[in-house]
Amino acid sequence: MISRRDFLKTGAMATTGILVPLGLSARTLPPGVVPAFPAASPVLSKFTNQLFVPPTTTPDASGVVNLSMENNIWNFHDDTAQLSPTPTFGYMVNGIRAPYLGATIIAQRGKPVTLNATNNLGVHPMAPWISTSNGVPGIQAGDATAPRAAVHHHGGYNLEGADGGPFDWFPGNTNNPLLANKTYTYNYANDMQAATQWYHDHAVGITRLNVYAGLAGCYWLRDQYDTGLAGNSLGLPYNVLNGSTYEIPLVLQDKAFVNAAPYSSLNYTANAPTWLPEFFGDVSVVNGKAWPNLNVEQAVYRFRLINGAEARLFNLSLSNGGLIYQIGTEAGLLNAPVRMSALLLAPGERADILLDFTKVALGSKIILQNNAPAPFPSGGGGVAIPQLMQFTVSSAASGAAVTVIPATLRSNTDPTKPAMLLPAKKAALATVQQVNVLLYEVMGPGGPALDTVNLLRLDEALQSVNAVKMTRNTLVQWNIINMTGDVHPLHTHLFNFLISNRQNFNTVTYQATLDVLPFRNISATNQSISVPNMLTGVIPDPATFVTGSAYPPAPNEAGWKDTVMCPPGQVTRILAPIGYVPSLDSATPAGTVSGVPYGQNIYNKSGIYGTQYPGGAFTGSFVYHCHILDHEENDMMQMFQVNP
C-alpha cells in the first residue's frame, strides 16, 4: 500500500500570491532511516568572486549554430586554495568554449536556426553516481565513460525531431539512425515572440547528472520590439554582444563539493549511487561561481533569471528592501512591470526582471537573498542557502544607461510595442478538451521510492486509458492534481500555456476514491510496490472534490509560460492552444482557436518557412514532466500525443 503525507490546513504565501497548503507534512522517513544528504562542502569565502557572465553568440548568415559538448576544468571559486579546480561539462558554441554552462545564443524571431550538436563527452564528472543498479530508468553503464546526451531547446516550439527529448539521445541510439553518430542536427523555427529560453541536456536516465555537471545555457529570442539594443522602443536595458552590460543572465543553482588536490569534485548524495528524492547542495552557485559579486552602476539592470537547480526553489528578495520588477515570464513580456518584494522561482522557471540601483548610494552592497524551505514548502530536507550573490554599487550611471523603470511593455494603440495580453479565459466548456494529470509519490519501506505522473512509469505513458492525446487547433484545459507534499514545477514540451486558476481539493476523499480501484505491482527503485492500477483505472475528475473558490494566477504569472508551480493539495488549471493561432503581426484574427483572445498567441499559422516548417506539421509525441530533475528521472515524466 501507499503511505501518504498528512494534509492539514491551508496557508498563504503572501509574498508570491500563490496559496500553498503549508500544513502538508514534510516527507517522513521510517525510524532509523537517515536522509542521504551530501557531506558538507568546504567553507568558501562569499562575494570575493566576480560574477561570470557567459559570452553571447549569434547564428551565422545562414542561420547555423555549431555546438559541441566537452569535458572541462572549471574554477567554481577563484581562490583555488579554498576549492581546487573541478572537472565539469560545458558547451562550446561557435568556437566559444565555456568550461561550465554554455554561451548565450541570441536568435531572431522569424529566422530559423540550424543547430549542429556534437557529443564529445568523455569520463563523466559524476561517474560514481552512474549505476544500472539504482533503479533509475534509462541509465546505462556506459554513461560513466561515454555519456549519452540530447540538447533540449526549453521553451521552443519545434518539430518532434528537433525537441531534444529524453529518448533522442546520441550517439549509439539504435531507435533512430540519425542519432547513431556523435553529431545530430536540430532545426529551430523561432516562430515565437521574444522570450527567455534556454537549452540543456535531456538524455533519459542521466539528465540530472549531465545538467549538474554543466550542460545548460541561455537562448534568448529577440523580435522587432524587444531588440536588446540601446534606445529600444520598450525602454529596456540593453545587451552588448560579447560584452553584456545592462542585460545579464543569472543561472541560479546549488552545489556540493569535495575538496582535494589537484582537483575537487562535485558531490551529490552521500550514499552513491542511490537515487535521492531531491538533491540540495550547500553552496550557492550563480553562473558557475560560488556566491559571486557583481559591480553595478547607479542604473536600471535587466536580469534574465533561470532556476537551473536540481530541486531547490528560490524565494528571492533584496537585503536593502528594494523592489523586484518582473517584466516577463518564460515565453514573453508581461503587459507592464509587476512590483514585488519577493519572487518565488521553481526549477525550470525563468523570470525576466529589472532591478533599480539609481537611488542606491555609491559603495552600497546589496545581497540577493533566499528564504525558501527545502523541499518547498515544508522544509526539513536540505541545508538553507539564505544568501545567493551580492551587488556592489560601484559607479554612477553612464550616459547610455537606462535610469527609469518603464511604465508599460505592451499596448494595443502604440505600434512600437507588442499587443496586450488578456486574462486567460476559455470558451463554452463543450469546446474545450479536458485533460486530468495526477502527481503522486509512491512510498516504500525506506521512504519515497518513486515520483509519478498518473501512477505510471514513463515507458507506460501511451498505454494507459489516461494517456494525453490532443488534436491540433483545439483549446485544451489541463487540470493538474497534486497529491504530494511538494510544489512541483510542471514543464510541457512543444507548447506554452496560460495559467487559468488554482483551487484546493479534498485530498482525503480523493485518496479514498483511488483506494477502491484495482491495484497492481509497480517497480520503484528496485522494489515492487502495490499501487492503484492507472493503466485501466480512470483518474478521478477533481471537479467533484474541490473546496473553496478558485483563485487566479499571481500578477507575475499572468503571461505565457512553459513551466508552472503546482502547489500540494491543489488543482492547477492551465489553458493551452494546441496547434496554431494567427501571427502576432496578422491584421485579422482569422483562424483563431475558439476561446483564445486575439493577440494572445505565439504560433504562426501560415507555415511561412516552406517545406521545413509546413503549417500544421507540429504533431507527434512529446513529454511533460516535473522539472525537479530527481523527480523527472524517477519517474515524474509522461508523454502526450498531438494528432492531426
**Domains in the chain: boundaries:** 11-34+422-643, 56-395
Overall average pLDDT of the 501-506 stretch: 97
Contacts 24+ apart (CB under 8 A), 34-38: 35/381, 36/269, 36/270, 36/271, 36/274, 36/276, 37/269, 37/270, 37/280, 37/382, 37/383, 38/256, 38/267, 38/268, 38/269, 38/270, 38/279, 38/281, 38/282
- Of 627, 626, 630, 609, which Cα lies nearest the Cα of 618? 609
The answer to whether the CB of 195 falls within 8 A of the CB of 330 is: yes
pLDDT of 25 reads: 38
List of residues 6+ apart from 398 with CB closer than 8 A: 297, 299
| Per-residue pLDDT reduced to its tens digit, 338-371 | 999 999 999 999 999 999 999 999 999 999 999 9
Percent with pLDDT over 90 in the chain: 70
pLDDT of 189 reads: 84
pLDDT at 22 over 70: no
Range in 215-224, 233-242, 462-471, 505-514 with the lowest mean pLDDT: 233-242
Overall average pLDDT of the 570-582 stretch: 77
Residue type, 255: K
Domain covering 11-34+422-643 in this structure, CATH number: 2.60.40.420
Overall average pLDDT of the 82-93 stretch: 98
Q: How far apart are CA 616 and CA 231, in angstroms?
A: 37
The answer to whether the CB of 267 falls within 8 A of the CB of 257 is: yes
Overall average pLDDT of the 557-572 stretch: 96
pLDDT of 602 reads: 40
Q: How far apart are CA 166 and CA 601, in angstroms?
A: 27
pLDDT at 274 over 80: no
Range in 118-127, 143-152, 270-279, 384-393 with the lowest mean pLDDT: 270-279
CA 350 to chain centre: 7
pLDDT of 642 reads: 87
Burial class (CB in 10 A: 0-12, 13-18, 19+), 39: exposed
Confidence of residue 191 (pLDDT cuts 50, 70, 90): confident
pLDDT of 377 reads: 95
pLDDT of 526 reads: 79
- Of 138, 167, 126, which Cα lies nearest the Cα of 150? 167
Confidence of residue 617 (pLDDT cuts 50, 70, 90): low
pLDDT of 579 reads: 61
Cell of 307: 532556476
pLDDT of 151 reads: 99
Q: How far apart are CA 294 and CA 296, in angstroms?
A: 6
Overall average pLDDT of the 39-60 stretch: 94
Secondary structure element (H or E) that encloses residue 511, with its range: helix 507-515
Percent with pLDDT over 70 in the chain: 85
The answer to whether the CB of 227 falls within 8 A of the CB of 290 is: no
For the residues of 467-480, what is the DSSP string, one character each?
-EEEETTEEEEEEE
Q: How far apart are CA 189 and CA 427, in angstroms?
A: 29
Residue listed under C-alpha cell 523592489:
323
Residue type, 109: R
Q: Is 508 helix (H, G, I), strand (E, B) or coil?
A: helix
pLDDT of 288 reads: 98
Overall average pLDDT of the 202-219 stretch: 98
Overall average pLDDT of the 103-125 stretch: 96
pLDDT at 583 over 50: no
Range in 111-125, 378-392, 431-445, 491-505 with the lowest mean pLDDT: 431-445
pLDDT of 37 reads: 56
Instruction: For residue 262, say if its preceding peptide bond is cis, omega within 30 degrees of 0.
Output: yes
What kind of fold does domain 56-395 have according to CATH? Answer: Immunoglobulin-like (2.60.40)
| Per-residue pLDDT reduced to its tens digit, 388-443 | 999 999 999 988 899 999 999 999 899 999 888 876 665 444 457 899 999 999 98
Range in 348-357, 564-573, 622-631, 635-644 with the lowest mean pLDDT: 635-644
Q: Is 266 helix (H, G, I), strand (E, B) or coil?
A: strand
- Of 92, 140, 88, 136, which Cα lies nearest the Cα of 118? 92
Q: Is 460 helix (H, G, I), strand (E, B) or coil?
A: helix
The answer to whether the CB of 636 falls within 8 A of the CB of 456 is: no
Domain pair 11-34+422-643 / 56-395, same fold: yes
The answer to whether the CB of 465 falls within 8 A of the CB of 552 is: no
Range in 219-223, 239-243, 592-596, 622-626 with the lowest mean pLDDT: 592-596
Overall average pLDDT of the 151-156 stretch: 96
Cell of 13: 504565501
Backbone φ and ψ of 586, nearest 5°: -65, 140
> Could you say which DSSP state residue 465 is in?
T
